[in-house]
């Protein structure tokens, strides 16, 4: 028998807000989308800035784990364009500097060092500076931003956007040591910092050691090194025919950059199948839109060359085969090898961590793969005052994960410096606010739009391909943004049930457009899922179960397809259903999460 | 009522029937009745029954009189034919329509005021003529639409919302239908769809006059303590004599029951009703003992529900009147103008 759902536990309703739950930084997505619909762009920006620090950057580049999770994608073809709406907030916000924290003059006497000035470190700085910490940030590069500046091509992320959002953090009083690489952890440990945060990224691009590699060195480039050379302006040209090896986001950036630097016939070649490529579907779409074919099931065998010049790449044709356990391996098809001629090759087959500057006897433990041992919740290493985050912690991920790590690490560093137990994590802020304004009026717009996802307008291809620094996406205008915002289902407008008010009239069951609601005798979850109004196959979504009603039955609501339309509450004669906004905000470093001030 | 349109989105795994429709394709406009009205549940049950039976919506005609109950045809079967008639006059309009086109499925929807007060005469004649139809009375014991006056089905002693006691004896439409010769008679409750949906299905498959008295609480005017038509009162006094499963191609139910507790009834159109007896000695094929049983239980304060009477091989009005098989709108000049020879013959007969 299922127990009544504990809706006082913030995690229950948080999980219903699929996007917020999936976002590593737990950005309150529907909240900012409603603000955009209300043309309150600056407010929408600040909701984002508080959660994810780089709304303008992320609104253009985020890996958007929220979108595959978005409920809208379960009831129709495509999720809400959550990411590109974020950009709208950034584009239209106006000047928000007055709303940012001011540099703190009264310092708390604690000093924190940051290694690297990527998004992870900058997030730590953003969270600690307002608390009075002295924060010193070291980076070998001359400017802050990490790979956001050095790797992500400018046609996706223009420099002024980086300057602006990195600038907001520098302006909080960050002490920068840009141009200074840390060569020894032992040295840094000796500098008397109260805490050290390592946000040095995963800087090494994997090479492809196959025959012909040495002979063709002049025209075979490691993708991420090549991209940063392009970013810094050291490389401005590439051959007419280019082959990009690899199927991740580096590969996609390499091929699209090549098209802008003179590559006319640019081909991407991947070992595995098209579907299994690491790049997101929209990245593949963008590449193909720029006339870049993607070839699959081809394993590079050798770089061919003639008279000391690269002539092309030889591939073996393979096909996937599955063993009894369903594991896939790539087996040669036995067909003749395929040769593809080219002038340049970009190798984008993966990225690795490297910590040549951390002495292995400095007190920080590493595992057998050469990765530091880091606690996933606290980001603490085996040396209590050294913390890791971003790509340096668990291998290459993305910006939003770097931010999430930074936020967690900042909490830990603050607790550590205040001599508190870092393993005691503060709970999120959690509020439920009734949305009822009248009999059928809610303080959110429950009449959702039937429109399909709107496409972000692009710059004309011929123009875009001429300039590697010209942003290709134009962003939604206000009208498009409004229309897209209306697709959001307001998943934070929660259906809250009061069992003592229910007269079991069935009105809610009858009206629910997606058959979420069932009144039935209680049972085990497995059994109940076979007895609901509609098939209940999505086990990742919870069942909301009430206390026993007058007839001894219980209410069971399958959260899976709920549109948050509020019709159940509108049709309920007794107010047993209410629509309440769940406001969940992750804790951040500061007084409210220190236990001493809780007491 | 609700101001927004019900979202078009449906559960992606919603089953489809043999016509390729989901249950939602049988819906109508969003209801404007009071939130929680029993009538809306009956609409949902009709939608479910028509979906389950794979009925093509355009082959159904829904007719009603006046009242909250009579408004409901707008809220289901949005792609069917509809006729909202004068107060209490649905039965004669339905009878006429049926005579003109016997190919449609006729669904009469009425209220206790519409059928037992102003329309009692019409109700009686439709029953005794054996019109092939399903006639549902959404019985809440009040005139909901005109703000809750007692109707003719209101029980003696039932208390109004204002505290007034009803002193008139109630009309029991089920007893009348039994006496007047309806060939399928049932009573159910809007709050029990597991009972109601199969009853509507069986009635739709019945080729004769099928009557369902469905108790349907009026949440606005008749759902308070002291009312005998409230959710609580009906739940407490409900005595189901049997449970019905209708075997339709797709949803064969296989379960074992103790011998003697199950009866299979094959109706004229081949549909099979499986009746699970809850009251051992109740025989739904014996009009007289059914009437007696109902009176007894009524006296004991119980509300008897279930399939109360069924004649699996009924005749209907068309048989009695020996009408042509085809709908009138399909008849051409040939059938309608038999020619001078036939006229001469007729005139000769009248000389
Ligand atoms: C080609 C490419 C495209 C990408 N596109 C996207 C995208 O579209 N969206 C997305 O979310 N993510 C993308 N990523 C991933 C994303 O850039 C990283 O996950 C993210 O930047 C990691 O942040 P970080 O703070 O961990 O470190 P990084 O951004 O890697 O920054 C680390 C910084 O540390 C400095 N550093 C390293 N060692 C030392 C040292 N010893 N001393 C001083 N400084 C040091 C480096 O110079 C660097 O500036 C992409 C990555 C690549 C390679
Ligand atoms: C000829 C005529 N007389 C009176 C009325 C007023 N009137 C409208 S609805 C109604 C009673 C409806 O009661 P019922 O059939 O029980 O429907 P309910 O609203 O209870 O579902 C009455 C008397 C009318 N519309 N027409
Ligand atoms: S808000 Fe209520 S009526 Fe709307 S989809 Fe969710 S459960 Fe159904
Ligand atoms: S509409 Fe309200 S009273 Fe009626 S069953 Fe649903 S929750 Fe209960
Ligand atoms: S008045 Fe009564 S019968 Fe009419 S809609 Fe309201 S609850 Fe239903
Ligand atoms: Mg009535």
Q: B187-202 burial string, b = 16+ CB within 10 Å, else e?
A: bbbbbbbebbbbbbbb
Nearest CB among A448, A567, A571 relative to B36 is that of A571
Give the atom of ligand 2 at the shortest distance from the alpha carbon of B138: 21
Task: Specify whether A322 is located in the same domain as A216.
Answer: yes
Residues B279 and B307: their CA atoms lie apart, in Å, by: 12
User: Which chain B residues in 229-268 lie under 8 Å from chain A, judged by CB atoms?
Assistant: 231-232, 235
The alpha helices in chain B, defined as continuous H runs, are: 38-52, 68-71, 90-100, 112, 120-129, 173-180, 193-205, 231-237, 287-299, 317-321, 333-336, 340-350
Interface test with B, best of A439, A450, A503, A569 (most B CBs within 10 A): A503
Distance of CA A248 to the CA centre of its chain: 15
Q: How far is the CA of B69 from the centre of ligand 5 (A)?
A: 8
Task: Specify whether A214 is located in the same domain as A329.
Answer: yes
Give the end of a domain, one of A350, A368, A402.
A350
pLDDT confidence of residue A599: 34
Residues B214 and B221: their CA atoms lie apart, in Å, by: 17
Reported as a pLDDT band with limits 50, 70 and 90, residue B272 is: confident
Report in angstroms the alpha-carbon separations of A211 from A241, A302, A337, A532.
21, 5, 15, 61
Task: Specify whether A278 is located in the same domain as A198.
Answer: no
Report in angstroms the alpha-carbon separations of B147 from A355, B67, B115, B161.
80, 11, 17, 10
Cβ–Cβ gap A534/B40 under 8 Å: no
Nearest CB among A507, A509, A534 relative to B13 is that of A534
Torsion of CA A182, A187, A189, A195, to 10 degrees: -30
Q: What secondary structure letter does DSSP report for A573?
A: S
Cβ–Cβ gap A535/B13 under 8 Å: yes
Task: Specify whether A91 is located in the same domain as A125.
Answer: no
Residue B119 burial (CB < 10 Å; 0-12/13-18/19+)?
buried
Task: Specify whether A323 is located in the same domain as A218.
Answer: yes
> Is the Cβ–Cβ distance between B202 and B268 less than 8 Å?
no
User: Taking CB atoms and a 6 Å cutoff, what residues make up the pocket around ligand 1?
Assistant: A 61-63, 115-121, 138-141, 146-148, 151-152, 181-182, 199-201, 203, 224, 227, 249-250, 253, 351, 357, 390-392, 396-400, 402
Task: Specify whether A357 is located in the same domain as A326.
Answer: no
Q: Choose among A20, A21, A24: nearest CA to A398.
A: A24
Token pair recorded at residue B113: 């005021």
Q: Choose among A7, A172, A18: nearest CA to A80.
A: A18
Residues B16 and B21: their CA atoms lie apart, in Å, by: 5
Task: Specify whether A212 is located in the same domain as A344.
Answer: yes
Give the atom of ligand 1 at the shortest distance from the alpha carbon of A351: 53
* Angle at alpha carbon of residue B279, lines to B273 and B282, rounded to 5°: 70
Q: Tokens 């994810």 correspond to what residue?
A: A52
Q: Which ligand is nearest to the CA of B215?
A: 6
Give the end of a domain, one of A298, A329, A350.
A350
Q: How far is the CA of B89 from the centre of ligand 2 (A)?
A: 11
Q: Does B16 touch chain A (CB under 8 A)?
A: no
Residues B13 and B15: their CA atoms lie apart, in Å, by: 6
Report in angstroms the alpha-carbon separations of A233 from A474, B86, B267.
24, 84, 86
Q: For residue A85, what are the contacts with CB-CB under 8 A and spacing of at least 6?
A: A32, A33, A36, A59, A476, A481, A484, A485
Interface test with B, best of A445, A510, A519 (most B CBs within 10 A): A510
Task: Specify whether A330 is located in the same domain as A366.
Answer: no
pLDDT confidence of residue A593: 60
Residues B231 and B219: their CA atoms lie apart, in Å, by: 9
Q: Kindly report, residue by residue over B93-126, the tens digit of the pLDDT.
A: 999 999 999 999 999 999 999 999 999 999 999 9
The residue ranges of chain A whose pLDDT is under 50 are: 597-599
Q: For residue A329, what are the contacts with CB-CB under 8 A and spacing of at least 6?
A: A320, A321, A322, A323
> Is the Cβ–Cβ distance between B96 and B108 less than 8 Å?
no
Host domain of residue A117: 101-203+353-417
Reported as a pLDDT band with limits 50, 70 and 90, residue B259 is: low
Report in angstroms the alpha-carbon separations of A328 from A245, A269, A271.
21, 19, 13
Residue A16 lies in a domain: yes
Residue A513 lies in a domain: no
The CATH number for A46's domain is: 1.10.1060.10
Structural element, H or E, at residue B273: strand B272-277
The answer to pTM > 0.90 is yes
Look at chain A and report how many structural domains it folds into. 3
Q: How far is the CA of A405 from the centre of ligand 1 (A)?
A: 13
Q: For residue A193, what are the contacts with CB-CB under 8 A and spacing of at least 6?
A: A111, A112, A113, A136, A385
Q: What mean pLDDT is predicted for residues B306-335?
A: 93
pLDDT confidence of residue B224: 96
> Is the Cβ–Cβ distance between A58 and A86 less than 8 Å?
yes
Residues A45 and A32: their CA atoms lie apart, in Å, by: 8
pLDDT confidence of residue B255: 56
Closest residue by Cα to atom 33, ligand 1, is A116
Distance of CA B170 to the CA centre of its chain: 20
Task: Specify whether A87 is located in the same domain as A144.
Answer: no
Give the atom of ligand 4 at the shortest distance from the alpha carbon of A568: 1
Report in angstroms the alpha-carbon separations of B232 from A255, B55, B219.
70, 34, 11
Q: Choose among B235, B240, B313, B251: nearest CA to B275.
A: B240
Cβ–Cβ gap A505/B43 under 8 Å: no
ipTM over 0.95: no
Task: Specify whether A335 is located in the same domain as A276.
Answer: yes
Q: How far is the CA of B250 from the centre of ligand 4 (A)?
A: 31
CB pairs under 8 A between A and B: 97
Q: Would the CA dihedral through B120, B125, B127, B133 be positive or negative?
A: negative
Nearest CB among A506, A511, A565 relative to B191 is that of A506
Q: Kindly report, residue by residue over B178-213, the tens digit of the pLDDT.
A: 999 999 999 999 999 999 999 999 999 999 999 999
Q: Which residues of A touch B43 (CB under 8 A)?
A: 510
Does CATH number 3.40.50.970 belong to domain B23-321? yes
Q: Which of A381-390, B16-25, B55-64, B326-335 has the lowest mean pLDDT?
A: B326-335
> Is the Cβ–Cβ distance between A403 and A120 less than 8 Å?
yes
Q: Which residues of A touch B41 (CB under 8 A)?
A: 505-507, 510
Residue A259 burial (CB < 10 Å; 0-12/13-18/19+)?
buried
Indicate the angle between helix axes B287-299 and B173-180, nearest 10 degrees: 160
The CATH number for A188's domain is: 3.50.50.60
Report in angstroms the alpha-carbon separations of A543 from A4, A560, A564.
10, 8, 15
Q: Tokens 């253009």 correspond to what residue?
A: A60
Name the β-bridge partners of A494: A580
Task: Specify whether A45 is located in the same domain as A151.
Answer: no
Instruction: Give the nearest chain B residue to A452 (CA atoms).
Output: B9
Residues A398 and B102: their CA atoms lie apart, in Å, by: 69
Task: Specify whether A222 is located in the same domain as A333.
Answer: yes
pLDDT confidence of residue B238: 95
Q: Does B156 touch chain A (CB under 8 A)?
A: no
> Is the Cβ–Cβ distance between A84 and A456 less than 8 Å?
yes
Give the atom of ligand 5 at the shortest distance from the alpha carbon of A573: 7
Q: Tokens 């005052």 correspond to what residue?
A: A385
Q: How far is the CA of A590 from the centre of ligand 2 (A)?
A: 67
Evaluate: CB of B111 within 6 angstroms of ligand 5: no
Domain coordinates in residue numbering, chain B: 23-321
Maximum CA extent, chain B: 72
Reported as a pLDDT band with limits 50, 70 and 90, residue B254 is: low
> Is the Cβ–Cβ distance between A351 and A396 less than 8 Å?
yes
Q: How far is the CA of B40 from the centre of ligand 6 (A)?
A: 13
Q: For residue A301, what are the contacts with CB-CB under 8 A and spacing of at least 6?
A: A210, A211, A314, A315, A316, A337
């Amino acid at each position: 028998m299922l127990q009544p759902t504990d809706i006082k536990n913030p995690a229950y309703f948080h999980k219903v807000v699929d996007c917020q739950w999936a976002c590593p930084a737990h950005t309150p997505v529907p909240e900012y989308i409603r603000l955009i619909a209300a043309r309150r762009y600056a407010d929408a920006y600040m909701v984002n800035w508080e959660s994810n620090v780089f709304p303008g950057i992320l609104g253009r580049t985020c890996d958007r784990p929220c979108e595959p999770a978005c409920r809208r994608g379960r009831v129709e073809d495509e999720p809400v364009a959550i990411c590109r709406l974020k950009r709208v907030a950034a584009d239209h916000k106006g000047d928000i500097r007055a709303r940012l924290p001011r540099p703190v003059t009264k310092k708390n006497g604690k000093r924190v060092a940051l290694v690297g000035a990527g998004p992870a470190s900058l997030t730590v700085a953003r969270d600690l500076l307002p608390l009075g910490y002295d924060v010193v940030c070291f980076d070998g590069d001359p400017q802050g931003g990490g790979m956001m500046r050095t790797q992500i091509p400018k046609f996706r992320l223009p420099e002024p956007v980086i300057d602006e959002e990195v600038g907001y953090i520098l302006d909080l009083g960050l002490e920068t040591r840009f141009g200074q690489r840390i060569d020894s952890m032992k040295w840094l440990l000796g500098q008397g910092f109260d805490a050290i945060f390592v946000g040095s990224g995963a800087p090494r691009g994997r090479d492809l050691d196959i025959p012909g590699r040495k002979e063709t060195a002049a025209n075979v480039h490691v993708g991420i090194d090549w991209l940063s050379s392009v970013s810094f302006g050291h490389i401005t040209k590439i051959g007419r025919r280019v082959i990009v090896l690899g199927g991740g986001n580096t590969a996609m950036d390499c091929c699209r950059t090549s098209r802008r630097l003179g590559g006319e016939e640019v081909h991407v070649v991947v070992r595995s199948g098209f579907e299994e490529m690491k790049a997101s579907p929209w990245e593949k779409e963008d590449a193909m839109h720029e006339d870049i074919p993607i070839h699959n099931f081809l394993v590079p065998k050798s770089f061919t060359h003639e008279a000391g010049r690269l002539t092309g790449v030889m591939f073996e044709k393979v096909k996937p085969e599955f063993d009894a356990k369903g594991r896939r391996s790539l087996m040669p098809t036995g067909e003749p090898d395929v040769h593809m001629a080219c002038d340049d090759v970009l190798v984008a087959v993966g990225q690795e961590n490297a910590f040549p500057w951390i002495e292995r006897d400095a007190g920080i433990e590493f595992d057998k793969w050469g990765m530091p041992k880091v606690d996933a919740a606290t980001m603490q290493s085996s040396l209590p005052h050294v913390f890791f985050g971003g790509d340096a912690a668990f291998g290459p991920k993305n910006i939003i994960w770097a931010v999430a790590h930074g936020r967690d690490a900042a909490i830990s560093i603050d607790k550590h410096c205040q001599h508190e137990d870092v393993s005691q994590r503060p709970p999120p802020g959690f509020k439920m606010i009734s949305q009822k304004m009248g009999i059928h009026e809610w303080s959110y717009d429950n009449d959702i739009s039937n429109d399909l996802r709107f496409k972000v307008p692009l710059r004309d291809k011929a123009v875009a391909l001429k300039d590697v620094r010209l942003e290709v996406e134009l962003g939604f205008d206000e009208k498009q943004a409004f229309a897209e915002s209306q697709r959001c289902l307001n998943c934070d407008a929660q259906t809250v049930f009061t069992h003592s008010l229910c007269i079991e009239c069935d009105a809610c069951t009858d009206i629910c457009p997606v058959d979420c609601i069932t009144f039935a005798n209680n049972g085990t979850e497995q059994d109940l899922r076979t007895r609901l109004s509609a098939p209940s196959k999505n086990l990742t979504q919870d069942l909301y179960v009430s206390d026993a009603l007058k007839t001894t039955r219980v209410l069971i609501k399958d959260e899976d397809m709920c549109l948050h339309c509020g019709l159940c509450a509108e049709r309920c004669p007794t107010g047993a259903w209410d629509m309440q906004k769940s406001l969940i905000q992750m804790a951040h470093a500061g007084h409210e999460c220190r236990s001493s001030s809780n007491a | 009522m609700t101001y927004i349109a019900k979202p078009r989105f449906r559960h992606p795994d919603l089953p489809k029937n043999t016509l390729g429709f989901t249950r939602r394709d049988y819906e109508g406009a969003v209801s404007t009745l009071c939130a929680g009205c029993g009538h809306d549940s009956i609409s949902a049950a009709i939608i479910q029954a028509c979906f389950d039976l794979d009925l093509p919506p355009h082959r159904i005609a829904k007719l009603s009189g006046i009242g909250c109950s009579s408004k409901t045809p707008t809220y289901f079967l949005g792609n069917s034919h509809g006729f909202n008639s004068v107060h209490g006059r649905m039965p004669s309009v339905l009878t006429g329509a049926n005579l003109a086109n016997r190919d449609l499925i006729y669904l009469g929807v009425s209220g206790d005021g519409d059928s037992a007060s102003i329309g009692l005469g019409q109700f009686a004649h439709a029953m005794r003529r054996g019109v092939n139809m399903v006639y549902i009375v959404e019985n809440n014991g009040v005139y909901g639409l005109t703000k809750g006056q007692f109707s003719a089905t209101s029980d003696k002693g039932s208390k109004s919302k204002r505290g007034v006691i009803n002193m008139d004896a109630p009309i029991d439409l089920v007893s009348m239908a039994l006496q007047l010769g309806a060939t399928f008679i049932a009573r159910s409750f809007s709050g029990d769809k597991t009972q109601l949906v199969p009853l509507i299905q069986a009635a739709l498959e019945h080729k004769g006059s099928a009557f369902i008295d469905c108790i349907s609480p009026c949440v606005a005017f008749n759902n308070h303590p002291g009312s005998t038509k409230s959710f609580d009162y009906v739940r407490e006094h409900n005595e189901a004599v049997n449970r019905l499963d209708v075997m339709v191609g797709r949803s064969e139910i296989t379960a074992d029951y103790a011998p003697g507790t199950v009866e299979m009834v094959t109706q004229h159109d081949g549909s099979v009703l499986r009746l699970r007896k809850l009251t051992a000695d109740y025989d739904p094929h014996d009009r007289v003992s059914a009437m007696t049983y109902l009176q007894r239980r009524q006296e004991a304060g119980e509300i008897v529900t279930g399939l109360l009477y069924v004649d699996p091989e009924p005749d209907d009005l068309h048989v009695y009147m020996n009408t042509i098989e085809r709908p009138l709108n399909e008849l051409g000049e040939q059938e309608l103008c038999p020619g001078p020879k036939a006229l001469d013959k007729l005139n000769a007969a009248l000389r």
